[in-house]
Structure formats: structure tokens, C-alpha cells
Amino acid sequence: MDRVALRGLRARGHHGVFPEEREKGQVFVVDLVLGLDTRPAAAADDLTLTVHYGVVAEEVVAEIQGEPVELIETLAERIAERCLRHEPVREVEVVVHKPDAPITVPFDDVTITITRSRP
């Protein structure tokens, strides 16, 4: 399987368990790896035979900015489901970063990584 990766997609969302996270919001960062067969698109030099990563990027940002959820696990799942709606995509790895998580000790990042595929 071939891979198309998008790294560092950023948007402000209002996800989190605590009321202040929902009120103020924070930046979330998403990395994606889309698994698909790019040979048909490459042979025909045809965008319609592959995944349009610009459209996927816009959809991921819409999920981040969309309806708030408590857990980044839920956000990651929604993003994965959205990516798998694109016919050529057979598998997706989603990493959601929450660099401003409300943790009381010094840290660099909090992430959840999930991999989902078509049944």
C-alpha cells in the first residue's frame, strides 16, 4: 500500500473535559497517513483516481473546528471516519496532538494515535 502523509494540520477547537477548554478553546495539530494504491492515478496522471489531499486537509480542519467532544480519542475517530469516506483510501493513521493540554507539570505534547481501515 502506498502512503500519502499530511503533517501539522492546525486549527482551533473547543475539545476537552474541562469547562475552560470548551470556553477558550486551544490549538490542535493533526498528522495523517493515508494508505491507498496510487498506481492507477500515476499511470493515468489523473487526480480523480487518487485522494485529493487538499480536500482531506480542509475536512480535517472542519472536524477540529466542529462540534466539541471531551476526548481527543473521539476527535481522532471522527477524523479517521472522514478520511475513509474517500473511495481510494483503504487505511488511515491519525495522530491528534494537544500541545496545550491542561497538565500541571512541564511537557512537550500529548497525542493519541489510531489506525483504522476499511472492513
Residues belonging to the active site: 98
Q: Assign residue 25 a region: left if phi > 0, alpha if psi is -120 to 50, beta otherwise?
A: left
Tell me how far apart the alpha carbons of residues 22 and 85 are, in angstroms, rounded to a whole number: 28
Find the helix packing angle between 72-84 and 53-65, rounded to 10°.
150
The residue behind cell 491519525 is: 94
Element (H, E) at 94: strand 91-97
